[in-house]
Amino acid sequence: MTGNNITWVLTTGEAGMRSQALGLAEAVGLPIEEKRIALRRPWAWFPGGLLPLPLSALHGRSDRLAPPWPTLVIGCGRRSIDTALAIKRLSGGGTLAAYVQNPECGLRKFDVVAALPHDGVIGANVLTVATALHGVTAEKLAAAREAWRERLAPNETPLLGVLVGGDNGSYRLTDAIATQLIRILRGAYHRHGMRAAMTPSRRTPEGTKRLIAGALSTEAWGWLWDEESENPYLGILALADRLIVTGESISMISEALATGRPVHVLPLAGQGRRHDAFLTRIIAQGLVSVIEGDDLDWSFSGQKPIISTAEPAARIRAMLGLEVRPQ
């Protein structure tokens, strides 16, 4: 049985997994404990849902998992699947188990699954969401707007927000694309009077950051986060009149879409089945504009804010007997 009226969030620590699982947990509203897990070999190589003794397969560097079991456990990432289901089983069914994305062999064993259309999962326990889950909310954006206004948009200066990702297993942010971005930003300033505020990610190549910083060093229209001061990410989301997001990050695009501002996607070099399917769908739905050449589609007006966390959170709260919050 459970004795902790809390949520355990299980991930292996990747930023994209953490943001989705933590965002859902925050929307549910119970106190949260994040549990980072790792599996020993050969168990780390197994598909999710097939481990015979999941807790015995945990590596020593994993966080401790022991009773009292939580009211809710949320997993995201293949290696969290068996551990989340083991907690549900050991609690005698007292722990409700939720999963973000496709839980592979464990689909029917979870109480709630939140998945994107390209995850390809269907079932009575599955909620198909339009964008990746995250923790960006209207309340957080309002607070960031006040906190960052004087630093990013003094005197209500029009602001173009830029979320720069980088290389991963499928895509590359090349110097040519970075140079294209600089031309776009320069044109936005000279033709539309928009200053640019940019934040790189941990995946942004060092050479790319130097290239962009060098281009901005003598310009009054651009600002690049130095990665040492306070991260302006939420401030940029909150204050930007338009947003440019590099196309390899489903998470960043989804967070940008939560603002209700026009979102322009800058494609990177490469291809990936899941990411390309996501982009193809949201382009067809008119949620984003894809950048072609050295200018934005200034006629693109975007959509109302899209925050996909609300529906699965409401389902979970109802199953736990909690008051369902208005969406």
Task: Say how many C-beta atoms besides its own lie within 10 A of residue 19's C-beta.
Answer: 22
Average pLDDT (38-60) is 66
7 CB contacts (<8 Å, ≥6 apart)? 25, 28, 30, 31, 32, 33, 70, 71, 72, 73, 74
The dihedral built from the CA positions of residue 250, 253, 257 and 262, taken in this order, carries a sign that is negative
pLDDT at 109: 93
Picking from 207, 249, 222, the residue whose alpha carbon sits closest to that of residue 161 is: 222
Fold adopted by 138-290: Rossmann fold (3.40.50)
The dihedral built from the CA positions of residue 231, 161, 287 and 301, taken in this order, carries a sign that is positive
Confidence of residue 63 (pLDDT cuts 50, 70, 90): confident
Average pLDDT (98-119) is 92
pLDDT at 1: 44
Residue linked to tokens 């539309």: 192
Confidence of residue 305 (pLDDT cuts 50, 70, 90): very high
How is the chain split into domains, by residue range? 2-133+308-319, 138-290
Average pLDDT (184-207) is 94
pLDDT at 324: 66
Domain 2-133+308-319 has CATH 3.40.50: yes
Which pairing describes strands 69-76 and 32-36: parallel, antiparallel, or unpaired?
unpaired
Average pLDDT (206-216) is 92
Confidence of residue 82 (pLDDT cuts 50, 70, 90): confident
Query: Has residue 2 got a pLDDT over 60?
Result: no
Confidence of residue 289 (pLDDT cuts 50, 70, 90): very high
pLDDT at 44: 67
3-state secondary structure of 273: helix
What's the pLDDT tens digit per position in 154-175?
Answer: 888 899 999 999 998 899 999 9
Q: Do domains 2-133+308-319 and 138-290 have the same CATH topology?
A: yes
pLDDT at 155: 85
What does pTM read for this prediction?
0.91
Task: Give percent of the chain above pLDDT 70.
Answer: 93
40 CB contacts (<8 Å, ≥6 apart)? 57, 58, 59
